[in-house]
A and B are shown apart, each in its own frame.
Chain A
Amino acid sequence: MTFDVDKIRNDFPVLFQSSRGKPLIYLDNAATTQRPKSVIKAVSSFYENDNANIHRSVYELGERATIKYEDARVKVQKFINAEKSASIIFTKGTTESINLVAYAYGRTFLKPGDEILYSEMEHHSNIVPWQQVAETTGCQLKYIPITDDGTLVEDWRNYFSEKTKFVAITHQSNVLGSINPVKDIITYAHDKGAKILIDAAQSVPHMSVDVQNLGCDFLVFSGHKMLAPTGVGVLYGKTDILNAMPPFLFGGDMISQVGLQSSKWNDLPHKFEAGTPNIAQVIGLGAAIDYINELGIDSIHQYEHELTQYALSKFEELDTIKVFGTRENRGAILSFHSEFVHPHDMAQFLDADGIAVRAGHHCAQPLMERLRVPATTRASLYFYNTREEIDILVNSIKNILKIFSVESQPK
């Protein structure tokens, strides 16, 4: 099947509008993606036809809502090839998923002297919760540095020790696009007796991820970065580990029996889903997975890979612009920097051409320090972006460099 981008774009109504008088070019997909009609329809159809609370209604409407919600769980399970649907916990996003593991696993099982290992390219959401765990439990924080070209150091194994008990690492950097060798890291972590969490917020939307093949203990991602509504995320965990963990939030739905003095916890996955969840949003995630499956995640990955390679080549025309990261083993994210135009000014001028990009530290301040820049401009692509859009982006940057009169200055 050829990848018919023009046809695909028709599924995304939001793309057909002008911004600042120019056709909108949306290149902030690492922050959040757009939603296809089928996802929007799944959400509105739920409210129009099926809305009721789940898991505790005998009436037909409630039954239907429950079935749709649990169907979405099975879709997620199959999408990442988890063994059991009980492994799939719905949260409100990647951040909550990591916090859940940090609280319920980290604070329960980590002890003074244990080491938590993460990397220098983590998003704040995969740093700050672990800092809190360290503060509470007395365990130590270690990190794997990155190289000047934005990849994990080759000797990352040397940063493990006998004390390493937990590893938290991103599959793909939200700033550099670098893809980490997570399968090797997972195998090594297990050899060392450590548990490992993979932050897959930037990988699951763009490439095939198989948790059984990877063997990770936990894997987390967000719905809204893969066409689904905001307010829904996923925690995948191995059931034996999830069973051993205490609940994170307490209340309705997560209990099997409540007395006035004590209560018993419900089975997985409900033990970790206290309160009424974001039902329509979860169903929206199910519709997003249907949409992705129809295109084929491997076709999406291939298309994005070619588009990224094209963009990297086009950026080579820009003498004074430095693009971070390597050419290989990278996803569809281009973070770039100019010595002459501050990222904020760059993003503001691109906005004037209808181009939506992100400028800032991208919730990765330690990484900005490592790259020795205060901020970067980031263009992040998804499968509905086109080569024409890349051409317009690069031309616009050329004009901006002219305005800031740096066209002929040496690199």
Chain B
Amino acid sequence: MENLRELYQQIIIEYSQKPRNFRTIENAEHECHGHNPLCGDDVTIYATIENDIVKDISFMGSGCAISKASASIMTTLVKGKSLDAVQSMFDGFHNLITTGETNEDMSSKLLVLGGVHKYPVRVKCAILPWHTMMNGLKNECPDN
């Protein structure tokens, strides 16, 4: 099981047990539901934006440790960032978990999910909260 610890670093297990920003936001202007029909992962993102800055963001839902940790780290990182910065963070994260490549601007918190790229089936778990957030921020949520 030891070789799996690269994928499941202790911090990921902790995040999954004590997720950050795991709550709803009353009357959030941006709310989006994301679902992975193949595995049943389910996430709802809530966000408020002021002057193109993400003022508050949270999530609810059920999913595996990878998806919960990914959502926790994501909400922690994007709070207070501009929409442009969030977009480039998304691009960098997408690249990280599909290829394993990092960039200079990348937060070290994201790097704990770097092992995902070796497990193609799990990429969807890590990216679901991010896709859902981007759809929500752009008000392009397919379920709404």
Contact = CB atoms under 8 A, between A and B. Distances in A.
A148 interface: no
Interface stretch (A104-112, A169-177, A272-280, A344-352): A344-352
B1 A352 contact: yes
A375 B40 contact: yes
A100 to B, nearest CB: 26
A352 B3 contact: yes
A185 interface: no
A378 B73 CA distance: 30
Given A342-B65, A345-B66, A348-B122, A375 B39 contact: yes
B4 A374 contact: no
Contacts of B40: 360-361, 365, 368, 374-375
Given A348-B119, A396-B1, A405-B17, 16 more contacts: A342-B62, A342-B64, A344-B63, A344-B66, A349-B1, A352-B3, A353-B1, A368-B40, A374-B41, A374-B42, A374-B63, A375-B40, A399-B1, A403-B8, A403-B13, A404-B17
Interface residues of A, number: 25
A204 interface: no
A359 interface: yes
A21 B3 CA distance: 10
Contacts of B62: 342, 374
Contact of B65 (A345, A359, A365): A345
Interface string A57-91: 00000000000000000000000000000000000
A327 interface: no
Contacts of B8: 345, 348-349, 403
Contacts, number: 60
11 contacts: A342-B63, A342-B64, A342-B65, A344-B63, A344-B66, A345-B65, A348-B122, A353-B1, A368-B40, A403-B1, A404-B65
Interface of A: 20-21, 340-345, 348-349, 352-353, 359-361, 365, 368, 374-375, 396, 399-400, 403-405
Nearest to B3: A352
A298 to B, nearest CB: 37
B39 A348 contact: no
Nearest to A399: B1
B1 A359 contact: no
Given A360-B40, A374-B42, A375-B40, A348 B13 contact: no
Interface string B6-34: 01100001001100000000000000000
Contacts of A375: 39-40
Nearest to B62: A374
Interface string B122-143: 1001000000000000000000
Contacts of A404: 13, 17, 65
A324 B122 CA distance: 26
Most chain A Cβ neighbours within 10 Å, of B3, B8, B16, B64:
B64
